[in-house]
Copies of this chain bind each other. A is one copy, B any other.
Amino acid sequence: MTLKVHFKPTDIVQLADVKTAAKNIAPFAHRTPVLTCQSLDRLVGHNLFFKCENLQKTGAFKFRGAVNALAQMSPDELAKGVVTHSSGNHAAALARAAQIFGTQAHIVMPSSASVIKRRAVIGYGGRVIECEPNLDSRLEYADRIQAETGATMIPPFNDVRIIAGQGTAALEFLQQVPNLDLMVAPIGGGGLMSGTCVTVSATSRRCRIVGAEPEGADDAFRSKEVRKLLPQTNPRTISDGLLTSMGKLTWPFIRDIVRQIVTVSDEETIAAMKLFLERTKVLMEPSSAVALAAVMSPKLMDLEPDRNIGIIVSGGNVDLDNLPW
């Protein structure tokens, strides 16, 4: 199955939307720090800059998009609540954003979701509705809640408010480190990457964009090769934030603006996650470590030595009782 998508990226989200999002989230989100590490630089032969979205509120960049979406809702809409289906970082981010905006988040989670992720949603005041661990069940439950409550659906990535919100990470990053030659981010549904594309293509002439994907969930890589949106079927990877297919609104950015997609094995991802923790003392999740693994991969495009490479560390929510090594 392939899907034809005729959108141009500039039809979807523009830099002005990202700048508005930056204003919307400023009172609530961290301007996350950029971390550097000389010993990693020596190892890789480039100057690495890590934008620490793992230190963002709720432990992931997802908070940016969720807050931006809620900031654009009317009081009447907010009064009816918000709903999403997610087993991961978007769920926690939406729950926390809803708490801030004084509304109720209904989160449809598969029964297979980890106890830790359920607990995070509940800790932020979210209402968890358990469904079967498949997409049909998730959509059915989410639809039912929308019908019953009038809650607004806030999708995890295929949404212009979400894409604009996620683009604020790259906006800050280029303010903090203007001379980046390359920016690398993971691709799951493509929300972070799309926002990154909007920002980088509009504000930096020199900075190219590379996407990182697990070999076992390489729909973006395969789609880009044939320039057609191929959905991900049967993903297999420890990078649990990158299992989903891209959406119609995110694919055009990956198709037209991303220069290269580097796929990495789970072994490479685990090694990168462990190396980063050992050298920097900072924890990233596997879905983020794919980006560092991509930079260390022989598959990465040829670069002059000592380039300035920015890596968006998308999140740090890890079950410490089940570390992957």
Contacts and interface: CB of A to CB of B under 8 A. Distances in A.
A114 to B, nearest CB: 13
A320 interface: yes
Interface string A220-241: 0000000000000000000000
Nearest to A275: B320
A59 B279 CA distance: 8
A55 B323 CA distance: 22
Nearest to A313: B281
A320 B282 CA distance: 12
B274 A316 contact: no
A54 interface: yes
Contacts of A52: 281
Interface string A258-295: 00000000000000001001101111100000000000
A280 B320 CA distance: 13
A321 interface: yes
Nearest to A278: B320
B325 A281 contact: no
Given A320-B325, A321-B325, A325-B321, A281 B282 contact: yes
A283 B323 CA distance: 14
Nearest to A319: B278
A281 B320 contact: no
Interface of A: 33, 52, 54-55, 59, 274, 277-278, 280-284, 316, 320-321, 323, 325
Which 7 pairs show the lowest CB-CB distances between chains A and B?
A: A281-B316, A281-B283, A54-B281, A274-B320, A281-B282, A278-B320, A282-B282
